[in-house]
Amino acid sequence: MNHYQILIIGGGTAGITVAAQLKRKDKELKIAIIEPSEKHYYQPAWTLVGAGTFDYKDTEREEADYIPKGVDWIKDKATDITPKTNRVKTAKSGEVSYDFLIVAPGLVMAPELLPGLKEAMDKGVVCSNYTDPEHTWEVLKNFKGGNAVFTQPTTPIKCGGAPQKIMYLAEEYFRKSGVRNKTNVIFATPGTVIFGVPDFAKTLNKIIHERDIIFKPFYAPTKIDAEKQEIYFTYIKPGESSNCGVTSGNPIGEELTGDTEIKLHFDMLHLAPPQMAPKFIQESEISIQEGPGKGWVDVDIHTLQHKRFGNIFALGDVAHLPTAKTGAAIRKQAPVVVENLLKLIQTQNVGKASYEGYSSCPLVTGYGKMVLAEFKYDNVRDSDPVISKFVDTSKEQWSMWLLKKYGLPFMYWNLMLRGKA
């Protein structure tokens, strides 16, 4: 059986960044990454791919080019974690043992959790930037008017702002293509507000009002009928039942089909599929067994150390943290894991580095416009001290669009994955 001082599950943003930073601090560490994929994707650009302003090929690189020097790559899938014996099972390479484990496999798409979605996904007028952004672009180009519906599930999702970013770009594209005057752009979300941080919500509310976007909060999607092009929602506002505010003859053709069930016809539908932790994580002792965070990895929200198994850390999308699951969050989580783990190795006590929940959502609000929403735990605004000296990131900015399209991809491939940022 192969044994490593540090074993990392996942060669995505979190796994590679942490491995690169660890190797920079101490070349002697014996580290391996378990990752089955040959390709590595820069997913934040998929919003721009879906809007026809970024080439999908430019979001894809060879995984082999980013495994840090001196780190073993176990090209395989992790299938089971037994924390009491410090072992990870893999699909083909047998068991691997470890002194310390870093869990960062990300999350998985679970379209099967929304009836009708699996059959409809990425076909016809149903699209998702999360799975096939090139199909989204085809749908936008072919759209001739009617109800353009944008929605998201009740599960946690990566990049919580993505379902509305493509909506702003689509709305502008419909104006360019001459179909906007015969189109209803509808954003239906289980959420209570357009965005959780008040400063940014203010800007976004102004944008949806000025651009005549129909905002439907408390709308939780429950099933899709792709043949009939209908999506059903449950209205989840507490205390509301038979009156969901749906009147007959409304401009978007909503129908009340039950006490709180609403049926809506769509001529195009973009959605984030439901998402969940990988099965082997859910079934492992390292996940939360019951309650709201069930299935996600049980870590201290500041140290990122596992609450029950001291030699395990987790970061990225799979960790149960009350903040948005984004690449920007990983950029702040990685150094915390690295510092706290190295201290633990050297002194048997976890380090003092603390993650305060920083995440950011580059909210693209049109071609050439972006609001950079940065925040931390409890939805407190948390702007970058350097950027905010020059720019009010809560307003739409051309400079932030340039950052999104050129600056952030450059930083990702050349600095973050090399352990330098």
Per-residue DSSP letters for 261-291? EEEEE-SEEEEPPPEE--HHHHTSTTB--SS
306-344: buried (b, 16+ CB within 10 Å) or exposed (e) per residue?
Answer: beebebbbbbbbbbbbebbbbbbbbbbbbbbbbbbbbeb
Q: Which amino acid type is present at position 71?
A: V
- For residue 178, what are the CA distances in angstroms to 172, 251, 362? 10, 20, 27
Listed residue (169, 174, 148) closest to 229, CA to CA: 148
DSSP letter at 141 equals H
User: CA-to-CA distance for 149 and 270, rounded, in angstroms?
Assistant: 6
| Known active-site residue 361 | yes
Q: Is 306 in contact with 299 (CB distance < 8 Å)?
A: yes
Residue 192 has which token pair? 């209570």
Catalytic residue among 6, 20, 104, 159: 159
Strand, helix or coil for residue 12: coil
What residue has token string 């352990």? 419
User: CA-to-CA distance for 64 and 3, rounded, in angstroms?
Assistant: 21
User: CA-to-CA distance for 157 and 151, rounded, in angstroms?
Assistant: 12
Q: How many CB atoms lie within 10 A of CB 122?
A: 18
Listed residue (2, 6, 188, 12) closest to 95, CA to CA: 2
Catalytic residue among 49, 213, 344, 361: 361
| Known active-site residue 244 | no
Q: Which amino acid type is present at position 306?
A: H
User: CA-to-CA distance for 73 and 84, rounded, in angstroms?
Assistant: 24
Helices (H), 148-284: 162-176, 198-210, 279-282
Catalytically annotated residues: 159, 361
